[in-house]
Amino acid sequence: MNNDKKIFGITALFDTPNEIIKAAKKVKDAGYKYFDVNTPYPIHGMDKAMGLKSSKLGYVTLFFGFFGASSILFFMWWTLAVNYPLVIGGKPYFPLPAFVPITFEFTVLNAVISTFIAMIAVVFNMPFNAHPLHDSNYIKNVSSDKYGVVIESEDPKFDENNVKEFLRSLGGKSIEIIYNPEKQTFKVFQPRFVVFLIIVAIITSLSTYVTLNKLMYMPPFDFMMNQNKGSAQAESTFFYDKHEMREPVKGTVARGFIPYAFEGVVDTNEFYSNPFLPTKENLELGQKKFLTFCSPCHGDYADGNSRLQGQFPPGPTLHSARVIGFSDGKLYNIITNGQNGIMPSYTYQTTREERWAIVNYIRVLQRAQNPKPSDFTEISDTNKESGNASN
């Protein structure tokens, strides 16, 4: 065993991938533990020939991936449900489907960055820019068109003469002894380095100030600031009413669209009939939109039990005799135009089909809590038919 700490290792070059594969296997079989193989490109089967174990970086990726997913989910839950509770569009405090994209992105970002840091800082001991193989003839060859193996002096079996003979017996060429570079220390806060930092700080500060406060306000860089446009809610010098925000031209109708005849009319007895039958698909649509937009005030079952938990005055029950007596068109009109300055219009939140579907679903809820005697007769007849069919 060589105790000379100045020697890093002994290298040998090979001409073909087959030669380096065989050489790596023989080095491993000879009992050497501290050796490495360098090739200009990855060679299939090299890890098996060297006897390398699976990398532990996968565990780092898995751990920090789970950590990123759990931490961002906890942060979003705590923000929306604990620190500042918000009801957005009738969604629950913890709308998991809306959090999936953010959770996925943060999981990938956290796992990738953590793996990169672990690989650079732990596996490769970076920053380490004084590796003994740097600038050697060996590394210049193996990064071009040769294949090489290096046996390090830290190996218990390392002996300079024996390693040389062993590498020659494998067919190695250009046997080279690599020495450890002498350690050099530098004072960080040397006067010239401090002066350099001060100059860089001054130049950076001045250039940033001039760019953001002077240059951006000079032609031609000010084109985004001085453009012909109207800002929302700003006073106009072009239109006669001095309003920048323009309403649609009165009397115009979009192609293929029939306007609602009672738009803005809150209380009237002239209404349309429901054009949609209460099919399964229509009721499922109505249930979805009712739970989204109506249940926060009227409750999940339209009984006036608000889901806003006291954050807003609950809406009235929809099971009163007065509301049950409303026509479908009147319910549709209330959803469209709002009512009495308390309930807002849901024209922009829902389509016409969705509003009629909500009306059908309200009728189902009313029928469920206010059944007629005939409903029980129909249920009894249905049970009898099912029993006869089973017999």
The dihedrals phi and psi of 294, each to the nearest 5 degrees, come to -100, -40
What is the pLDDT, as a whole number, of residue 389?
52
Closest by CA position to 39, among listed 177, 172, 138, 151: 138
Closest by CA position to 363, among listed 315, 334, 316, 331: 331
What is the pLDDT, as a whole number, of residue 2?
45
Q: How far apart are CA 53 and CA 147, in angstroms?
A: 22
Read off the amino acid at residue 137. Answer: N
| Residue 144, number of CB atoms within 10 A of its CB | 8
Instruction: Write out the chain's pLDDT in tens, 391 residues.
Output: 444 558 889 999 999 999 999 999 999 989 888 899 999 998 888 888 888 888 888 899 999 999 999 999 999 999 888 888 877 777 788 888 889 999 999 999 999 999 998 888 877 777 677 788 888 899 999 988 899 999 999 888 888 899 999 999 998 888 989 898 877 777 777 888 889 999 999 999 999 999 999 998 888 888 777 777 788 888 888 888 888 888 778 878 878 777 787 877 777 666 678 999 999 999 999 999 999 999 888 988 998 888 776 666 778 899 998 889 888 999 998 998 888 778 888 988 999 999 999 999 999 999 988 887 777 665 555 555 555 555 4
Note the pTM of the prediction, 2 decimals. 0.43
Spatial contact of 308 and 296, defined as CB atoms under 8 Å apart: yes
Instruction: Identify the sign of the CA torsion 96, 98, 99, 100.
Output: positive
Domain ranges of the chain: 1-183, 190-247, 280-376
Q: How far apart are CA 190 and CA 197, in angstroms?
A: 11
Q: How far apart are CA 348 and CA 362, in angstroms?
A: 20
Read off the amino acid at residue 17. Answer: P
Residue 105 DSSP SS3:
helix
Measured CA to CA in angstroms, residue 85 lies from 76, 93, 308 at distances of 11, 7, 10
* 280-376 classified as CATH 1.10.760.10: yes
What is the pLDDT, as a whole number, of residue 1?
43
